[in-house]
Structure 1
Amino acid sequence: MTSINYNDFPRAGFRRRMACWMYDFLTSVAVYMVAGLISFCIFMLFNNLGFIDMGEYEHLIEVQQNSVLYSGLIYSWNFFWVAFFFVWFWNRSGQTIGMKAWRLRVQNLDGSLISKKTGLKRLLPTLIGFGNFAVIFDRKNKLSLQDRLTQTEVVVLPIEVSRAKNR
């Protein structure tokens, strides 16, 4: 099998990026919800072990909602797992689940996979989705805000390459 040169593929346009973003947004909501379930189960366990005082509240969720510390810990845990989801997939294969569906790949300008550090830098403008609107105004280079900030690009993989990668 011949080696794939990822530099030869065209950059992704706005519509394909936004369709992919919708898939990944829904996936990230699911990751957030599962992380939330796990974090609240841990919170309940700590309550049952006596580490958390219910105070004047009747329900445990009220304790969490009225505590900056507990809410901060739980929401940080949930967002950590969403961030981990994106960075892990980008670093491992260059593709999240949505990117696989739309045959997109994020990569360095030389065609190599991005590092975890680069993935973290891409995270905020990517998650919000607004960074992709820069592609509308940059029709020649098709670079989003997150691409420019991290010297990366998102390319469209041909069907043959996408199928070969998924085997």
Structure 2
Amino acid sequence: MTSPSFPAGDASPAATWPVPALARRMAAFVYEGVLLFGVLMIAGYLYSSLTQMRHALQGTIGLQLFLFVVLGIYFVWFWSHGGQTVAMKAWHVRLLDAAGRPVSQARAAARYLLSWLWFAPALFAAHAAGLKGGSIFGVMLAGVLAYAALARLNPQRQFWHDMVCGTRLVDVRPARAAA
């Protein structure tokens, strides 16, 4: 079963398209994390092989920057080529601009950078508090849930980084066939 395709010339405003429920968007978020574990594992192995990294604490800044770029390439490419990552396809969610058109690479890159607001405040708070280990996970979970809850304050139920970037997540579930 495939998602319906939308003609490039469709000029209908994206505001008229249904917005996926927050629970579906969060399910896609979690599924994306599971898929990205594999992507980051392969990228980390590639980096450590190419740089001949012999110790886990050697070159961590370089590894972090490399993985940040790998994630950026992953998201920007998928969002600007069809508007859906693998997880978004599974949950029938698509990214469009405010006019209902596919997202440009520049807009996708801006969205990628701003989407780090899911994690940045929680990571900063954990670092400032000197937290270690499992405590960081708890702070991250609370931060992600708080950021997701902010979408309820928006009348269109969009995330903050989508409002700033002029993008929208829309529901693209295929229409059910009449019985």
* Same fold, TM-score > 0.5, yes or no: yes
Instruction: Show the counterpart of 1:99.
Output: 88
1:143 aligns with 2:143: no
Aligned residues, how many? 140
Larger radius of gyration: 1
What is the deviation of 1:144? 0.8
Match of 1:82 in 2: 71
Equivalent-residue separation in structure 1 for 2:96 and 2:44 (angstroms): 31
Q: Please give the alpha-carbon distance, in whole angstroms, between the structure 1 residues aligned to 2:24 and 2:89.
A: 12
TM-score, with structure 2 as normaliser: 0.69
TM-score under structure 1 normalisation?
A: 0.73
Counterpart AA for 1:27: L
Identify the match of residue 117 of structure 1 among 100, 106, 118: 106
Q: Which residue in 2 is equivalent to 1:155?
A: 170
Per the alignment, residue 55 of structure 1 pairs with none
Shift >6 Å, 4+ stretches = none
Gaps in structure 1 of 5+ consecutive residues: 48-59, 162-167
Please, which runs of 5 or more residues in structure 2 have no aligned partner? 120-143
Look up the equivalent residue of 2:83 and give its one-letter code.
Answer: G
Pick one of 113, 116, 132 that aligns with 2:148.
132
**Whole-angstrom CA distance in 2 between matches of 1:106 and 1:146:** 12
State the superposition RMSD in angstroms: 2.4
- Shift of the alpha carbon at 1:124? 4.1
Q: CA deviation at 1:30?
A: 1.7
2:60 to 71, 81, 91: 71
Tell me which protein shows more helix as a share of its residues. 1
The 2-side partners of 1:155 and 1:3 are apart by 12
Q: Which amino acid aligns with 1:151?
A: G
Contact 1:11 1:142 in 2 (8 A): yes
Q: Counterparts of 1:29 and 1:126 in 2: how far apart (Å)? A: 18
How far does the alpha carbon of each residue in 1:63-116 deviate from its partner, in whole angstroms, 9 at most, with x for none? Answer: xx14xxx22222211221112111110000100111001100011011111122
**Match of 1:143, as an amino acid?**
Q
SS of structure 1 residue aligned to 2:83: coil
